[in-house]
Structures are given as C-alpha cells and as structure tokens.
C-alpha cells in the first residue's frame, strides 16, 4: 500500500488514488490523418516496464487532480511526482 505524495494535497494513502496507466501518451492532434497502424499505436500500445516507469495517477478520492509519477515497478519505489504539463524529471 503506497504512500503517495499528491502534488496538491501531500502524502496520502494509496486507497485514495487510482492509476491511469502510462504517462506522456499524447493524444494525436489529428487522429483522422493517421493510418490504422498509427492510431492503434496510440490506442492500444503501452509499455508496462519492469523498472522505472512514468505513470498517470488520479487523486480520485481527494482533490480529483491528475498528476504524473515516476515509479520503479520492480520495487514500487516512487522516485518523483509532478503536475500535469510539467516536464518529467531527468534521471
């Protein structure tokens, strides 16, 4: 059960949050210009890394804000949280 540092509220229990999958998947500005394969790449393909991964999280039972998290999926260490629109920290 993680302790997650919401960028707006501070440290809260994981049960207040929900995970929204891989971060920095930018919705194509012109989906209609894409081929089936290109669209499928955006629609279906997610990395699911064992190791450091960038994820979207939502403080669903709190401030309802979405934010990003850098988490190592192999040991659940959270390396960073940052607001939507902010640049991911470089390691």
Partner 1 sequence: MTKFRVNKTKHVDQTKTVSFNFDGKSYHGFDGDTLASALLSNGVHLVGRSFKYHRPRGIMSCGSEEPNAICQINENTDLTEPNVRATEIELYEGLKASSQNCWPSVNFDIGGINNFISQFIPAGFYYKTFMWPKSFWKKIYEPLIRWSAGLGKSPTKPDPELYDHKHVHCDVLIIGGGISGIIASKIAAKNNLRTILIEDKNILGGSTIFQKNENYKINNKYSSEWLDDEIAELQKLDNLTIKTRTSLAAYHSYNYLLAKENISDHLPLDKKNGGIRQRLWKIRADKVLVATGAIERPLVFNNNDRPGIMLANSVKKYLDFYGVSCGFNNVIFTNNDSAYETAVSLKEKGISVEIIDIRKKSNSKIVKNAEKLGVKIYWNSTIVNTFGHRKIKSIEIMNLSEDGSNVVGDKNRINCDCLAVSGGWTPMVHMHTQSGGKLDFRENDQTFIPTEIDENHINVGSCNGDFELEEIINNTNKKVKNFLKVSETEFDNTSVLNSKELDKRNIWLLPNYISEGKCKSFIDFQNDSTAKDIKLALREGFKSIEHVKRYTTTGMATDQGKLSNMHALGIIADTAGVKMGTLGTTTFRPPFTPLTFGSIVGRSVGKFFDIIRKTSIHEWHSQNNAKFENVGQWKRPWYYPINDEGLHDAVQRESKAARDSAGILDASTLGKIDIQGTDASEFLNRVYTNAWSKLGIGKCRYGLMLNEDGMVYDDGVTTRLGENHYLMTTTTGGAANVLSKLEDYLQTEWPELDVYLTSVTDHYSTASVCGPNSKKILTKIFPDKDFSDEAFPHMSYQNAKIDEINCRIMRISFTGELSYEINVESKYGKSLWEKCIEVGKEFKITPYGTETMHLLRAEKGFIIVGQDTDGTMTPIDLQMDWIVSKKKYDFIGKRSLYRSDTIREDRKQLVGLLTDDPNEVLEEGAQIVSDVNKKPIEMIGHVTSSYFSPNLNKSIALAVVKSGKKMNGQKLIVPMENKNINVTVSDSVFLDKENKRIYA
Residues that contact Zn ion, how many (by CB under 5 A): 6
Q: Does 66 bind partner 1 (CB under 8 A)?
A: yes
Give 14 or 49: the residue with its C-beta nearer to partner 1. Answer: 14
Q: Which is nearer to Zn ion, 9 or 40 (CB)?
A: 9
Helical H segments across 1-91, by residue range: 36-44
Burial of 28 (0-12, 13-18, 19+ CB in 10 A): middle
CB closer to Zn ion, 28 vs 58: 58
- 45 touching partner 1, by CB under 8 A: no
Assign 6 to helix, strand or coil.
Answer: strand
């Amino acid at each position: 059960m993680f302790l997650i540092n919401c960028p707006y509220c501070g440290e809260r229990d994981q049960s207040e949050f929900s995970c929204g999958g891989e971060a920095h998947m930018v919705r194509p500005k012109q989906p209609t210009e894409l081929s089936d394969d290109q669209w499928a790449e955006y629609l279906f393909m997610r990395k699911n890394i064992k190791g450091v991964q960038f994820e979207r999280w939502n403080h669903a039972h709190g401030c309802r804000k979405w934010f990003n998290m850098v988490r190592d999926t192999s040991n659940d260490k959270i390396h960073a949280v940052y607001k939507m629109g902010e640049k991911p920290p470089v390691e």
